[in-house]
Amino acid sequence: MVVDLVVVGLGYVGLPLARQACAAGLSTLGHDVSASVVAGLGAGRSHVGDVRDAEVADMLSAGFRATFDPSVTGHGETVVICVPTGLSADGAPDLAAVRAASRRVATHLRPGTLVILESTSYPGTTEEVVRPILERGSGMRAGEDFHLAYSPERIDPGNGRFGIRNTPKVVSGCTPLCAKRAVAFYGRFVDTLVVSRGTREAEMAKLLENTYRYVNIALVNEVALFCDKTDIDVWDVLHCAATKPFGFAPFVPGAGVGGHCVPVDSRYLAAKAEAEGVPLRMLSAAQDVLSQMPRHVVERAARLLAELGKPVCEAKVLLLGVAYKPDVADTRESPAAPVAKGLRDKGAKVTYHDPYVPEFTVGGALVERVECLPEALADADLAILLQDHACYDMTMLTRARCALLDTRGKASGARVTRL
């Protein structure tokens, strides 16, 4: 049986891609190495916040099937690799999942198949890592016997305005024909396609997009540190600056930067730049600034508690929102983890409230989760707003008995201290 598409990796990138393809009428199958993911999808359960259970049911009705068996990749006219690209224990780029997925695809690769990498990585990954694996494993040549392309994912979890169809998609190929095949494929369910000169340009474009955010987030955080030392209201500064209709893009400070892309992609770019002998000094400076923000939040909390006459070692501190961004369940690289660790190291009793995160572990130890927010606020000495989930009623937070340290600039009142 030949199908239009096989998606390898059914996570926050692969599953929305499969859903969009199914909705466009493409016959679609999926492969994942997680037995629980495969079983859940087979039972109609979604593990991705942006894909509802009802949408999985629609996919199943359209013929979608998830499997643990890698041989399914041999059934696809197009195979898209959407596996994670994270960091190793020492903070270096980790392409283990990409290499493993490429080997599985190579084993079952048929002539004429279009293979597309969507996983974010440094320039050269498609040509220098994926291509050799596919060619060695299949005995075929890219651009001649099969087609190979790169198209960086642009998934933004929790974004209700932009999805796969209406977000312009960058497409590239190892040869002009490879790129043409990729354009024909994505054109079936994406409105706007942007063809880059080559795969390295497309890979670099993805890293630039998120590094731009990383550096600017670092800038406003460093400005926030300066304003704290000089008694300047950074939130008023940002409000005034954001009124300029040209030449300024607003960013806001916080406890740090997290997620699957921004803090990770910048390290991929930095590692590649170092390897090429062209270190990007601005990235190094940005990382230095952002790495100290969780510690700054802990120090601000300790100062605030001291002003209230409560030593931090005797304090009960409630963290509000431990996900890396508002209204998502993802805690990857969340600054809440180093904040919680810093407070615990100072002796504070730390609890958290987050309707999206049922379990939160820091340093191998669970952080106690509270269910009833009003009761938790009444019991705490200090609450720290780390993520401004839409469900948080700012009026309730500002009227709580405990003090509030607001790292998002959303609350105001006599018991509120902003970052």
Checking if the pLDDT of 369 tops 90, the result is yes
Mean pLDDT, residues 144-170:
95
pLDDT at 87: 85
Secondary structure (3-state) at 294 = helix
Mean pLDDT, residues 177-184:
98
Checking if the pLDDT of 260 tops 90, the result is no
Q: Quote the DSSP letter at residue 142.
A: B
Q: What is the longest distance spanned by two Cα atoms in the chain?
A: 73
pLDDT at 118: 98
**C-alpha–C-alpha distance, residues 4 and 18, integer Å:** 11
pLDDT at 261: 83
H or E stretch covering 92: none
pLDDT at 92: 85
Mean pLDDT, residues 404-413:
94
Placement of tokens 């100072």 in the chain: 346
Mean pLDDT, residues 181-202:
98
pLDDT at 315: 97
pLDDT digits (tens, 9 = 90+) for 66-102: 999 999 999 999 999 999 998 888 888 999 999 999 9
Q: How confident is the model at residue 370 (pLDDT cuts 50, 70, 90)?
A: very high
**C-alpha–C-alpha distance, residues 141 and 132, integer Å:** 9
Residues marked active site are found at 261
Q: Residue 107: how many CA atoms within 13 Å on its side-chain side? A: 10
Q: Kindly write down the DSSP assignment for every residue of 148-185, as one continuous string.
A: EEE------TT-SS--TTTS-EEEEESSHHHHHHHHHH
Quick check: 332 and 260 in contact, CB under 8 A? Answer: yes
Quick check: 29 and 75 in contact, CB under 8 A? Answer: yes
Q: How confident is the model at residue 17 (pLDDT cuts 50, 70, 90)?
A: very high
Mean pLDDT, residues 189-197:
98
Which neighbouring-strand residues pair with 29? 6, 65
pLDDT at 342: 97
**C-alpha–C-alpha distance, residues 333 and 86, integer Å:** 10
Cα of 301 vs its chain's centroid, Å: 27
Residues recorded for the chain? 419
0.75 exceeded by pTM: yes
pLDDT digits (tens, 9 = 90+) for 264-312: 888 899 999 999 999 999 999 999 999 999 999 999 999 999 999 999 9
Q: How confident is the model at residue 54 (pLDDT cuts 50, 70, 90)?
A: very high
Sorted by where each starts, the structural domains of the chain and their CATH numbers stand as 3-196 (3.40.50.720), 206-290 (1.10.1040.10), 292-418 (3.40.50.720)
Quick check: 11 and 82 in contact, CB under 8 A? Answer: yes
Structure tokens belonging to residue 355: 């309707």
Q: What is the mean pLDDT of the chain?
A: 96
